[in-house]
Amino acid sequence: MKLKLLLSTIALGSLCACSTLPSSGPTGGQITDTALEAQVDGAAIDIVPVNSIADVPPVAEPIDWQLPDYDPPPSDMIGPGDVLSVTVFEAGVALFGGGSSAEAAGGFDPSVKTHTLPPRRVDDNGMIDIPYVGTIQVLGNTLADVQVKIREGLRTFSQDPQVSVTRQEVIGNSIIIGGEVAQPGRLVLQTNRETLSDVIALAGGYRGEAKNLTLLIERGDDLVRLRLSDVLAGTYDRVRAYPGDRVTILAEPLIFSVLGATGRVQQIPFVRERMNVIEAIAAAGGPNSNAGDPKAIFLFRYTGPNKTQPTVYHFNLMQTPTFFLAQRFALRDDDVLYFGNSESNQPRKLIQTIGQLFSPIVTATAVANNVNN
């Protein structure tokens, strides 16, 4: 008798201590009630039951181009770091003695001498040094401009000098491209008409799937991120690369999170660039048949112009129109899909819990009775 009383006391204490039952998360009613009472980031949470097409938000537009879109400079404009090759052609007495004759160089006047100066690198201030001329400013000038400057500087020292300037190494009229491309490094802009998709192609193309990649562009102090799939689709076809740009392709797949009564918590990458809510539910496996409530499926998202308004969209999959509306509802990066816990699941869990608690008591009582007998 004492053993029965002791075991009964233990069972009663266990039931009192069990204030909550095991659960995969709140029910649909609990989410709605708590959302109406709460604020996030200083804003009240909006609850939007998706019952008509008016409740379906528009598909997100591609990111606006926000970098300065300058007119491209001449493709032969000189910039800091460029290496110039300067050749001087002289008739009569040669100022730079020791040069070769124009005849040997393919010219028609054997009295003309040519002399190629050692390569001149443009310094950070945009200057180069030319013998007999001194230091001259070349930054922002074209090759033709520099030829004129050197010729004018030599005119008082040499008889009708002619000058040819070419670039051995191009730094100023180039961009840096890196990340998920086949040939990262410095890319010279040959025409200054190359678009963003052009420079990716010139770098050997991208690695991976376009839907999983982001294009990061730095121009001066400005920076913008674009989805590579939008760039390749022609959305930014008129946007041209600009000398000095830094272009990086980053692996940043679009993902959504799944919580609640689904079987497991997980993050799932988009299977394609554009997904809808029905596809997301299918990818997550749908609500668990033992714990989930198909009337309580929610999508959590920040909305509004600055994405600061916390919003919860409610889908009731027990209503036929919701399936069609969910197909029109575009998923977005970082969405959270939640499967509500079924309220009808609680009594069954209570019975299971009571059974687990009393099973040892029943077994112990049977053993005690056998001992007494």
How much of the chain is in helix, strand and coil states, percent to nearest 5? 25, 30, 40
CB 300 within 8 A of CB 294: no
Q: What is the pLDDT of residue 216?
A: 95
Q: What is the pLDDT of residue 101?
A: 52
Tokens coding 225: 């991120």
Highest mean pLDDT among 26-35, 155-164, 239-248, 321-330: 321-330
| Burial class of residue 118 in the structure, from the number of CB atoms within 10 Å of its CB (0-12 exposed, 13-18 middle, 19+ buried) | exposed
CA distance 355 to 245: 69
Collapsing DSSP states into helix, strand and coil, what is residue 38?
coil
Mean predicted confidence (pLDDT) in 316-343: 94
Domain with CATH 3.10.560.10 in the chain: 28-59+274-345, 176-251
Which fold, 176-251? Outer membrane lipoprotein wza fold like (3.10.560)
Q: Residue 9: which pLDDT band, with cuts at 50, 70 and 90? A: very low
Least confident of 110-114, 285-289, 300-304: 110-114
What dotted CATH number matches 83-169? 3.30.1950.10
Q: What is the pTM of this model?
A: 0.71
Q: What is the pLDDT of residue 177?
A: 97
Mean predicted confidence (pLDDT) in 11-28: 53
Place of tokens 């939007």: 48
H helices of the chain, in order, are: 2-17, 28-37, 143-154, 196-202, 228-232, 277-284, 320-328, 345-372
Q: Which residue has the higher pLDDT, 111 or 8?
A: 111
CA distance 28 to 338: 10
Q: Which CATH number fits domain 28-59+274-345: 3.10.560.10, 1.10.3720.10, 3.30.70.890, 3.20.20.80?
A: 3.10.560.10
Each residue's pLDDT tens digit, 70-86:
777 888 899 999 999 99
Q: What is the pLDDT of residue 11?
A: 43
Q: Residue 39: which pLDDT band, with cuts at 50, 70 and 90? A: confident
**Arithmetic mean of pLDDT over the chain:** 82
Q: What is the pLDDT of residue 98?
A: 55
Each residue's pLDDT tens digit, 292-324:
899 999 999 999 888 889 999 999 999 999 999
CB 99 within 8 A of CB 39: no
Least confident of 28-37, 55-64, 178-187, 349-358: 349-358
Domain with CATH 3.30.1950.10 in the chain: 83-169
